[in-house]
Chains A and B, each alone.
Chain A
């Protein structure tokens, strides 16, 4: 009995098969045709619409909503894809509450914005329901070749836009399939039914794109080779590094990188095989923290606590995302930073956290007072970092703040190399921002290749 108490309570299959289905079903069920029609009618078709201005990819939102309301969802989807070829995924994962829907003028009137994300999903779902449909026709071959490193949202958007203009694109991806965070990172209940791969197929169906998986930059390919063999290179490899807790005991079993766990979860054939602790602590305050906390709770963890070093207001996860976690029964504790991981027999059993406070200058400091939480698993979700080593040595793009420096065209310090997505400086860590990077870079690459 004493053993049972002290041993970490980590088990798989905590729930019934029905529970898994329910817990990992669509977070927001799609709108039916009538619902969409009614919701579309709420759009005021604003002049110089604030929603469009707020959209990183500048989708003509009033236009696509009007097309839904006039019974033309296919045309609506084309309007969306014209600016954002990953409009289907963005409709699912965009934090619309801080983008288009926050800008909706209806907020001023009634605190209830038009449900732009769900309408976008409605139109794109209808479009994509016919597998072989594609909104664009590829321009005649230009004979120019572009290498895209990383098949995530930035790389896919860039590759599509370039292929559309007739260039020959090769996507190199370190993993065994492309999709990037859409495939490996997004919370499962936001992208159900293997939508990420489905959308990837849709993007590639423009033609002219070769995909080479299992090719990591710096391992299987080098930037120098790519620059030699291609007319231009786009870097969209994301962030490979995980920030460390820098707390004693970090090496204990059960102290897990949240990003890796989510990737495993997303790829799991059977969710009941995943190891789930009874008591779980998540360290961090971003989207990853919310995503891991919510999903581990939905996998059957009994107590899930997010510990964040500042208050909820300061969390990078939006209030709306926090709400999802809280609704699921996750506890968010503020003003706590990790001090020491406690363990027995090489496995984590708890975490000692130190209370924090801001000094007069707004600088965060530990107060010395500590709190200990029992934990069978501790997830690290305190951010990722760019790993520059794969760029190689010598003639490499200049960095800024640890990530690749780009100009407004997403061009790096090297004239033939562009970059976008999470790996560039000033990035917003958003799918939709990555898409915009890829789109802007593609336009610039096309201009450069056409010059």
Chain B
């Protein structure tokens, strides 16, 4: 079994699977159950100042389901912890004492005044927690009060508060970012400028999960009305992966430790976040869907995959995919692929044909010699991958690279040399050869 142990900005955990600051980490009872189940660490549900906040008494969650009720996307309007600060601090201290090998990070959200942060930091330090996470991400409720994503959307505030925290505590500081911004790199740069030890992302995305067409109100509906919530779960993973990658490859933040969050459900999701630079991952929706036991699959899966690939520690693959994330303009325009349909695997549903015919490049036949037959017309195929995406049979359609000869679509000889848009003749801003 590969060594999964993690040392993330000095915070050690037996594995990189943490529970995110969220309902599952609101109480000692839940966290102890999580540790017993094998989770490497937790970020305790966000603490605020007393008097404690109140939550709605109506529904807090909404979901997007697949046909068999598999949960694809999840939405919540729950606020930070609604228990007294003292109660939480006492439990945190006790759990950290009882589970010294697990990561215990405490999420915090108080008004943007230095003294408020000084006060809470002092009290958290007494718990001997391993670190703090600044919740600059929650997009609902608290943001209306000038906290959460209201801070995360203003890089100057992020930098300011981060600096206060670094100044007033010995604990490592993780800044949790909101995705509800235009360019994730700016808040990440601000966090770094403020001295953050790491960033964690993404928090949830502003969302209305569905509309009740009878009540004519958003779901979840509370007495006939609804408010936007925060979207999470498997559906947000692609957004999160991109944001993680953006920070990992940005010159200003490259190397800044990242804790990846957003739809992590399986070991593979975790490995993907880690390949894009995340040192740990944080999970919430998957645990809320299936319970804490899923961490067993995550641990075994990641370990088995590492064994198979010959990785003995997570450091060996964290960030390995980052160099391969690039800008569009750097992509090799001389790389030519054609779709190829495996006729033995093809079940003749015709989805590739109709997708290509109606919406793309008319590059797939429907009929051959009077028979239902789906075959790629290389002279029309641009290699777009739509057919692969819609084919219900795994690996039935593959994209095959042309390495020699003439591309029948363009009539041009395959050029083995790399060439991108920056030098393409159609690019009015192309880089000219200096000699010319």
Contact B366 A47 (CB under 8 A): yes
Contact B392 A41 (CB under 8 A): no
Stretch touching chain B among A2-10, A102-110, A170-178, A438-446 = A102-110
Most A-side CB within 10 Å, residue of B346, B348, B354: B348
Quick one: CB contact mask for A36-75 with B, threshold 8 Å, 1 for yes?
A: 0110110011111110000000000000000001000000
Quick one: CB contact mask for B389-403 with A, threshold 8 Å, 1 for yes?
A: 000110000000000
Residues of B within 8 A of A69 (CB): 67
Q: A44-B392, A48-B372, A50-B372 are in contact. Are A105 and B67 (CB under 8 A)?
A: no
Contact A106 B350 (CB under 8 A): no
Quick one: CB contact mask for B374-404 with A, threshold 8 Å, 1 for yes?
A: 0000000000000000001100000000000
Chain B: minimal CB distance from A442 (Å): 31
Contact A41 B351 (CB under 8 A): no
Chain A: minimal CB distance from B392 (Å): 5
Contact B393 A109 (CB under 8 A): yes
B347 at the interface (CB under 8 A from A): yes
Residues of B within 8 A of A105 (CB): 347-349
Contact B67 A47 (CB under 8 A): no
Residue of A nearest to B358 (CB): A47
In the bound complex, CA of A106 to CA of B393 (Å): 10
Residue of A nearest to B355 (CB): A47
Residues of B within 8 A of A47 (CB): 349-351, 353-354, 366
Residues of A within 8 A of B372 (CB): 48, 50
In the bound complex, CA of A108 to CA of B366 (Å): 17
Residue of B nearest to A44 (CB): B349
Within 8 A of B (CB), among A303-343: none
B144 at the interface (CB under 8 A from A): no
Q: Return the contact of B67 from the options A37, A44, A49, A50 (Cβ within 8 A).
A: A37
Residues of B within 8 A of A48 (CB): 350, 366, 372
Most B-side CB within 10 Å, residue of A46, A47, A50, A109: A47
Residues of A within 8 A of B68 (CB): 37-38, 41
In the bound complex, CA of A77 to CA of B347 (Å): 28
Residue of B nearest to A38 (CB): B68
Contact B351 A44 (CB under 8 A): yes
Contact B350 A38 (CB under 8 A): no
Q: Return the contact of A109 from the options B347, B350, B366 (Cβ within 8 A).
A: B347
Most B-side CB within 10 Å, residue of A41, A49, A108: A108
In the bound complex, CA of A400 to CA of B213 (Å): 59
We find that the number of chain B residues with CB closer than 8 angstroms to chain A is 16
Contact B350 A46 (CB under 8 A): yes
Contact B67 A38 (CB under 8 A): yes
Contact B366 A45 (CB under 8 A): no
Chain A: minimal CB distance from B361 (Å): 16
Contact B349 A40 (CB under 8 A): no
Residues of A within 8 A of B392 (CB): 44, 109
Chain A: minimal CB distance from B247 (Å): 37
Q: A109-B392, A109-B393 are in contact. Are A46 and B351 (CB under 8 A)?
A: yes
Residues of A within 8 A of B351 (CB): 44-47
Residue of A nearest to B346 (CB): A108
Residue of B nearest to A48 (CB): B350
In the bound complex, CA of A105 to CA of B69 (Å): 25
Residues of A within 8 A of B366 (CB): 47-48
In the bound complex, CA of A109 to CA of B349 (Å): 10
In the bound complex, CA of A48 to CA of B392 (Å): 16
Chain B: minimal CB distance from A69 (Å): 6
Q: Return the contact of B348 from the options A34, A38, A45, A108 (Cβ within 8 A).
A: A108
Q: A46-B349, A47-B350, A47-B366 are in contact. Are A40 and B67 (CB under 8 A)?
A: yes
Residues of A within 8 A of B353 (CB): 47
Within 8 A of A (CB), among B23-77: 66-69
Residue of A nearest to B393 (CB): A109
Contact B67 A108 (CB under 8 A): no
Residues of B within 8 A of A106 (CB): 347
Chain A: minimal CB distance from B73 (Å): 17
In the bound complex, CA of A48 to CA of B350 (Å): 7
In the bound complex, CA of A47 to CA of B372 (Å): 10
In the bound complex, CA of A105 to CA of B347 (Å): 5
Residues of B within 8 A of A46 (CB): 348-351
Within 8 A of B (CB), among A103-125: 105-106, 108-109
Residues of B within 8 A of A40 (CB): 67
Residue of B nearest to A42 (CB): B67
Residues of A within 8 A of B66 (CB): 41
Residues of A within 8 A of B69 (CB): 34
Chain B: minimal CB distance from A375 (Å): 47
Residues of A within 8 A of B347 (CB): 105-106, 108-109
Within 8 A of A (CB), among B333-353: 346-351, 353
Chain A: minimal CB distance from B76 (Å): 25
In the bound complex, CA of A48 to CA of B353 (Å): 10
In the bound complex, CA of A46 to CA of B355 (Å): 11
Residue of A nearest to B68 (CB): A38
In the bound complex, CA of A46 to CA of B350 (Å): 6
In the bound complex, CA of A38 to CA of B350 (Å): 22
In the bound complex, CA of A46 to CA of B353 (Å): 10
In the bound complex, CA of A49 to CA of B350 (Å): 8
In the bound complex, CA of A37 to CA of B70 (Å): 13
Residues of B within 8 A of A34 (CB): 69
Closest 5 CB pairs of A and B: A47-B350, A41-B67, A47-B354, A108-B347, A105-B347
Name 10 extra pairs, CB < 8 A, besides A45-B351, A105-B348.
Answer: A34-B69, A41-B68, A44-B351, A44-B392, A46-B349, A47-B366, A48-B350, A48-B366, A50-B348, A109-B393
10 contacts between A and B (CB under 8 A): A34-B69, A40-B67, A44-B349, A47-B351, A47-B354, A48-B366, A50-B348, A69-B67, A108-B348, A109-B393
